[in-house]
Structure formats: C-alpha cells, structure tokens
Chain A
C-alpha cells in the first residue's frame, strides 16, 4: 500500500516541481523508467507469489536501471543508440508483459 502512495506522491511531486531533465539524461531517463517499471511489476508478482524480498527488489531495480542505461550509453557511443534503445524497450516490454501475465494468473487464475 505504501509503495502505491509513494507512486502517487512521486507523480504529484513531478507535477508540482516540474523537474527539468538535463539534455544528457534524456536518452537514459526513458529507458530507466521502463526498467524500473519492469522491476516494480516483478516486485508485485514476487509479493503475490510470496517470495518478495526487499533486498532482491532494490538490487533488481538498481541493476535493471544501471544495465539499461549502460546499454543505451554503449549504443550511443557505437552510433546505434536508437536501435539499442529500441531493443531494450522491446525486452523490458516483454518482461513487463510476462510479469503482468503472471500477476493476472495469480489473481484471476487465468
């Protein structure tokens, strides 16, 4: 419950503060957000399976974000930043789908 409040608080904070995203961060932020979303859905799934572990959650979210940012950074350095970003988005999107499907199976049994 508290994490849901946290999400709402974050959204409200973002709307109130209107944070200016630095230019160099722009390519990473989108990927990082998607990676974090993936980790969050993974955490929800884990808690529904009863295997939620805060340490695992934090490490998974951090590693997701860092690895995604690294891949994008590498892609930009290699000149294929756009393509690699697309690849990361596809992979993370698939993971989000599978996580959501797992949550759905857990809650609805279908």
Chain B
C-alpha cells in the first residue's frame, strides 16, 4: 500500500453533486462565519470521505507490497502479544496485582491468620476444658457407681431387682444356727447381691444365731415365719437352695417347709446402719 502522499483526489471522485445539496449543507453547524468557507468545508469533507472509502476499498485488496508485509508482520506480533497478555492476565492471580493491592492482601491474610490462630487457641482451650470435664464426669460416674456398690454391700440403701423370696415355716423349731448360716452362704454363693432376713439387712458384719427356737439376726429377733429376700439371678438362687442336701432339704428334714417365689421385682427395704469403727484404719 505504498501509496504516495497526497494522492490525486479530483479524478478519483465519482460523484460531486454539490449543487443539489448546497442548501442543506448550509445548515450544517460550522465555526466559520463566512458562508463560502463553510461551503468549501462541507465540500472538502465530502470529498475526503469519498476518498477515504476509495482508499479503504483499495487497501482491502490483498496486494503484496512492502508496507503490507511489514504491517502484516507487526499485526502478527500484535495479535500474539494481545493473546499472550490476555491469557497471562487470566491465568495470573497475584502476579498481576499492584504492590499496594498485594500489601493490602497480605495485611488481610495476616489479620485473618491471626484471628484464626486466636480461634484455634480458644478452641483448644475449650477442647481441653471439655475433655477435662469429661474426665471429671467419667470419674464422677465411676465414683457414683462405686458408691452405689458400697452402699448396697453396706446395706445403707434400699434395693430392688430380680430375686427370690423365701418363706420358711418351722413349727417344730428344728432349724439351727448352722442351717441359717448355710442359707446365707448358699445365697451368697449363688450370687445374691443383697439379702434380707425378716426385717434385718444381711451385711458383712451380720451374725446369725438360733437361740431357744428364736432366730436372732444382728441382735434382732426375727418373727416366724421367716421371710428371706435375696436379690440376684432368681433361677440361680432358687437352684442353690434346691440342691440335694441343701437348705430346702434340711428344712424339710427338720420338719419345716418353705416356699420359694422367684420375682423380677423383689424389694429389700431393711437398712443397716453402720456403726462407728474404733480400731480399723485404712492403710494410707
């Protein structure tokens, strides 16, 4: 397109209908006050416009000139640069940011990290506290469980649960102390967790004696018929009593009789009040 500077404008212009358009052209706003100058300006504008279109058509023809090739080479580079820049802008995230933006971003991130660290510390404290609390809770539960076990063993609380109720009728007074001790031993062997004879709770320190046809348990006379309640597995307890040569046999041999009732909801309400100890001290 090595077009010469200042091409011949006159011959290339196909149309110059200046006379027909002149009145309208005069209405065009123009900075000049002189009507003739305005007319000339309009005419030159129209002429250059036509010339521009002419040249646009001319440069639309693919002509292999030096200028075209040079411009093509440069536009190739331009397209390459545009695409590269666009893609790197789209791909790059932090690289494209200005220094102030980066500093702001860094500040934001730092503040956020600080906040998060604070939160982490707080949460760790909470967690430790909760874990400790859980330990305390577990310890409390274990302690409570131990306490209940000891209370039941010591006979200081009423007990309910599955077990058996034995009613012993001994009209002839044939039961002796040994038989009653055997009964307690048999029940304990069968897994009785709590035993009550008459209105007396049987505990570790309980003693039994049959004194002149009267059953005495822990210095308390038990009225006839003897009523014994044991908490434990009902079948095992009843089976323990029914073994040959066991308690049931001995009661029958001594002329008495007994009823054993297995129940899921036996209740022991007799309490043992622990006495003050005078001598035993736990080993520290």
A residues whose Cβ falls under 8 Å from a Cβ of B: 1-15, 18-21, 23, 26, 29-30, 32-33, 36-37, 39-40, 43, 47-54, 57-58, 61, 82, 106-109
Question: Which of A37, A47, A51, A53 lies at the interface centre, i.e. has the most chain B CB atoms within 10 A of its CB?
Answer: A47
Q: Are B77 and A10 in contact, CB atoms less than 8 angstroms apart?
A: yes
Number of A-B pairs whose CB atoms are under 8 Å?
A: 148
Q: Give the residues in chain A near B69, CB-CB below 8 Å.
A: 2
Cα separation A14 to B48 with both chains bound (whole Å)? 37
B6 touches A51 (CB 8 A): yes
Given contacts A2-B62, A10-B78, A50-B7, contact A29 B46 (CB under 8 A): no
**B55, CB-defined interface residue at 8 Å:** yes
Residues of B within 8 A of A (CB): 1-3, 5-7, 45-46, 48-49, 51-53, 55-56, 59-85, 87-89, 92, 95-96, 98-100
Q: Which residue of chain A has its CB nearest to the CB of B5? A: A51
Q: Which of B78, B82, B87 contacts A18 (CB 8 A)?
A: B87
Q: Which of B2, B79, B98 contacts A8 (CB 8 A)?
A: B79
Q: How far is the CB of A75 from chain B (nearest CB, A)?
A: 12
Q: Give the distance in Å from the alpha carbon of A110 to the alpha carbon of B123 in the complex.
A: 70
Residue of B nearest to A79 (CB): B99
Are A47 and B1 within 8 A (Cβ)?
yes
The prevalent SS among residues of B at the interface is: helix
Q: Which of A2, A15, A23 contacts B64 (CB 8 A)?
A: A2
Most chain A CB within 10 A, of B1, B62, B69, B98, is at B1
Q: 20 other contacts beyond A1-B60, A1-B62, with CB at 8 A cut-off?
A: A2-B63, A7-B75, A7-B76, A8-B79, A10-B76, A11-B82, A11-B83, A12-B79, A13-B76, A13-B79, A19-B84, A23-B95, A29-B81, A29-B84, A32-B81, A36-B78, A40-B75, A51-B3, A54-B1, A107-B53
Q: How long is the Cα–Cα vector from A106 to B56 in the complex, in angstroms? A: 10
B78:A52 contact, CB within 8 angstroms: no
Pairs across A and B, CB under 8 Å, 16 listed:
A3-B74, A10-B79, A11-B79, A14-B80, A14-B82, A14-B84, A14-B87, A18-B87, A26-B88, A29-B85, A33-B81, A36-B78, A40-B74, A51-B3, A54-B2, A109-B46
User: Given the complex, which residues of B lie within 8 Å of A47, measured CB to CB?
Assistant: 1, 3, 55, 59
A88 to chain B, nearest CB (A): 15
Among B63, B65, B66, B75, contact of A6 (Cβ-Cβ < 8 Å):
B75
Residue of B nearest to A31 (CB): B85
A52–B65 Cα distance when bound, in Å, is: 13
Contact present for B76 and A48 (CB under 8 Å): no
Q: CA separation between A39 and B75, bound complex, in Å?
A: 10
